[in-house]
Amino acid sequence: MDVAEFVETLDTEGRSLVAAAEEAGPDAEVATCPGWQVRDLVRHTGMVHRWARTFVTEGHTAYLQDGGLPALDGAELLAWFRDGHRRLVDSLASAPRDVECWSFLPAPSPLAFWARRQAHETTVHRVDAQSALGVTPGTVAPDLAVDGIDELLRGFHGRARSKVRAQEPRVLRVRATDADAVWTVRLSPEPPVSERGPGADRDGGAAVDVDCEVSGPAAGLYLALWNRLPFPTVTGDASLATLWRETSEVTWS
């Protein structure tokens, strides 16, 4: 996916998020984020949108603290969210392709990083907002889901701060059954090492001994890996799926 596609996704998903939030109401419990009400979700996502935009529009090359959560609620909160979301979409769409600014995961460019990251941030939180309605959230396009799995496995959990660790070397395979995409995740006392591609399940021509495989449609895997849904299918040692569930949370800091 390219920058324009990510920006289009961000635009669509943000509008869907705030529409669901408005329908659910600020007091509604967010089923996929225990302890959060809709107002918490909207405040958080709106804050992230403004924080991300600051790097792109002001060209900061080092980390900046976010601006904090607003004390707004109800209609004022929704209007604040819509304004920040619109500004982020427009800023990413119009930014120079060679803009230089801080980012925190590997990407072809800082702009590509921020467009991708905010598309996925908003997609996952759109699912959260829809879960507050008490209905099954809308799905995620397979190509976006595959990209998001890759960002999570090789990006977020390729960092030293990942808490997904195993006392002994173990191998977890992630297979999207509708997208010809497979990842092999090597677990150890060190940060996970993930590979993607047809050769990811082989090592020097020999098949990798996999301890557990989680598989299913890309959209289901994407949301399961973000701990929004159960894994569609688990084969082998299910304790590795449990390990992921218990240790893979990505927290805001």
Radius of gyration, CA atoms only, the chain? 18
Closest residue by Cα to residue 166 from 183, 201, 190: 190
Residue 200, token pair as written in the block: 């990811």
Residues 6+ apart with CB under 8 A from 19: none
**Torsion 55-58-63-66 (CA) sign:** negative
Domains, the chain, ordered by start: 3-131 (1.20.120), 143-247 (3.30.1050.10)
CA distance 28 to 19: 14
- pTM for the complete prediction? 0.95
State how far the Cα of 170 lies from the Cα of 211, in Å rounded to an integer: 6
pLDDT tens string for the chain (253 positions)?
Answer: 999 999 999 999 999 999 999 999 999 999 999 999 999 999 999 999 999 999 999 999 999 999 999 999 999 999 999 999 999 999 999 999 999 999 999 999 999 999 999 999 999 999 999 999 998 899 999 999 999 999 999 999 999 999 999 999 999 999 999 998 999 999 999 999 999 986 666 665 556 789 999 999 999 999 999 999 999 999 999 999 999 999 999 987 6
| Residue located via tokens 């050769």 | 199
